[in-house]
Amino acid sequence: MHMNKKQFITDIKVGDNFDSTVIVSEKQAKKKKNGEDYCTVTFQDRTGIIEGILWTEVFLGAGDFSEGDLVSIKSVIKEYRGSRQLIVNSLKKLEKDDDLDLSDYIKSTSKNIDSMFEEILGYIGSMENRYLKELLNIFMADKGFVKNYRTSTAAVRYHHAYQGGLLEHSLNVVKICDMLTGIYDNLNRDLVLAGAILHDIGKIKEYSSGINLKITNIGRLLGHITIGYGWVQEKIGQVKGFPADLADRLLHIILSHHGHLEFGSPKRPKILEAFVVYHVDHLDGDIGGFNIILDNANSENDWSEYVRNFERPVYLKKLELEEEENMDNESLNSQDHNENSNKDFEPSSEETEQDELF
């Protein structure tokens, strides 16, 4: 059964009414200083997430609802600290039938999961080191692991935050790493590819990738780097004669792939393959994060709001070259053009102030 959903989170802007059905992604009951109850909620549909608030009267009138529930809300979009916020005027929990189509509420990769997974298997098949190949084949023979590796998210919000995001991100990292092994001939291809395939597997247990994406208890307590390290170490124990130095190097890639202690890595990269996996992982994460900003951006704005992960706003305006392409070379090289260009590149006082913030 498909429920007709007319409004999506990505389409709404400040001042709009938003009367629609959404999934409750996060819910936190709170108290005002005077003791009155209220509630902050994160709502989601397939286009994104938005923060909402239920003040006392609305919260008490909403009845019992939980994270993962499908709800019907009436609300208005206000601006709060530079972001959109829903002020919810009414909320009603809806029953979810087993045959209810929830595709409008769960964000998924736009890529084909089967073909992405086949590509991963192809990279494993191309490896020459029998120990790394056997280790990866042990993971890929585990049906439960494969199911989750194919469908898990790579994050709750920042990058590749949707079902299939972990596979999409991992394959991107593998492809870029493989390209780099063709440029730098002292990279061990099999080691760097094994690290790329396995670096984020702890996210399978760090995040729940069902109806709503959220951090699990084990994710909060241990984190995906530690979880992944333990998982890889356990499987290495199933490979007879796995060389100790090779094991240490692969585990080091897992432990160091966030690059810095303050970003959660117990170790900083100390072998070339670890440097490569760290930088490629960071690169693909930034590109994925930027693309999410583009997806959620209001098309009327040239600049995003302040982005916490980048610690800056980012420029969203699409590059348009048609006008320049239509100009002949003579006019491009004219003195007038050069003078105008110089004027265009004079920074305004506002731009100078902005530069100083970075």
- In order along its 358 residues, the chain shows pLDDT tens digits of 556 677 888 888 888 999 999 989 888 999 998 988 999 998 988 887 889 999 999 998 888 898 888 899 999 999 887 778 899 999 999 887 766 777 788 888 889 999 999 999 999 999 999 999 999 999 999 999 999 999 998 887 778 888 899 999 999 999 999 999 999 999 999 999 999 999 999 999 998 876 777 788 899 999 999 999 999 999 999 999 999 999 999 999 999 999 898 888 899 999 999 999 999 999 999 999 898 888 766 667 788 888 888 889 899 888 988 765 555 555 545 444 444 433 333 343 343 333 332 2
- What gap in Å lies between CA 141 and CA 49, rounded to an integer? 35
What residue type is assigned to position 29 of the chain?
A: A
Instruction: Name every residue whose Cβ is closer than 8 Å to that of residue 7 and which is 6 or more positions away in sequence.
Output: 18, 19, 20
* Sign, Cα dihedral of 220, 286, 145, 262: negative
Tell me the backbone φ, ψ of residue 215, rounded to 5 degrees: -80, 135
Which has the closest alpha carbon to 261: 278, 273, 248, 244?
278
Cβ-contact 27, 67 below 8 angstroms: yes
Which has the closest alpha carbon to 73: 38, 28, 41?
41
Cβ-contact 264, 159 below 8 angstroms: no
pTM confidence score: 0.76
Which has the closest alpha carbon to 149: 140, 158, 161?
140
- What gap in Å lies between CA 77 and CA 10, rounded to an integer? 12
In total, the chain counts a number of residues equal to 358
